[in-house]
Amino acid sequence: MVTELQSLRYTPAGIPVVEFRLAHASERAEAGATRKVNAEIDAVAFEAQARLLAGGKLGRLLKAEGFLCAKNRRSKKPVLHVTNIEFMEGN
């Protein structure tokens, strides 16, 4: 689910970028129990994925695929670089 969404911007080379925040909620098996999973992570998407997200509503459910990468040289905080998006039905 998208919980924060910045407006679409362009890199100096003209590539569209959008920065956003994703929230995740699910249930997973862990050490013999079923536990609730909650997490949030900063994310970024480029080009087609950026355009798909841009201007959309918050709270949409989606399936995101991508990789983790440090925010920058100073902060090793992971950012999810979304390379594929699938919006869930019914949104």
Partner 1 sequence: MWRKENGNICNAKAHPLRMRVLRIALDVPVAKIFEYLIDGATPVEPGDRVEVPFGARPRVGVVVEIAAASSVAASKLKRVERVLDGAPRLPAEWLEQMRFLSSYYQRPFGETVAGALPARLRSLKPLPKRAKSAADNASEKAQPPVGGHAPNPAQARAIESISVALGAFRPFLLHGITGSGKTEVYLRVIAQVLARGLQALVLVPEIGLTPQLEARFRRAFPSSHIAVLHSALEDTARTHAWLDAARGDASIILGTRLAVLTPLPRLGIVVVDEEHDASFKQQEGLRYSGRDAAVLRAKLAGCPVVLGSATPSLETWFNGGAGRYTLLTLPERAVPGARLPTVRTVDLRLESAENGLAKQVLEAISARLARGEQSLVFINRRGYAPVLACESCGWAAGCTRCSARLVLHASAERGREPGAGSLRCHHCGARENVPRACPTCGNVDLRPLGRGTQRVEETLAVLFPAARILRIDRDTARKRAALARTLDGIGRGEGDILVGTQLLAKGHDFPNLTLVCVLNADNALLSTDYRSAERLFALLAQVGGRAGRREQPGEVLVQTRYPAHPMFRALMRHDYAGFAASQLAEREGAGFPPFVHEAALRAEAKKVDSAMMFLRAAARLLEVPASVQIYDPVPHLITRRAGVERAQLLLQSHSRPALQEFLRLWSAALPASSSSGVRWHLDVDPIEFD
DSSP string of 4-58, one letter each residue: EEPPPEE-TT--EEEEEEEEEEEEEEETTEEEEEEEEEEEEEEHHHHHHHTTPPT
Q: Least distance to partner 1 from the beta carbon of 86, Å? A: 22
Helix (H, G, I), strand (E, B) or coil at 62: strand
**Residue 76 binds to partner 1 (criterion: CB under 8 A):** no
Single residue of 27, 32, 72, 76 touching partner 1 by CB under 8 A? 72
Q: Least distance to partner 1 from the beta carbon of 15, Å? A: 6
Single residue of 28, 36, 57, 73 touching partner 1 by CB under 8 A? 73
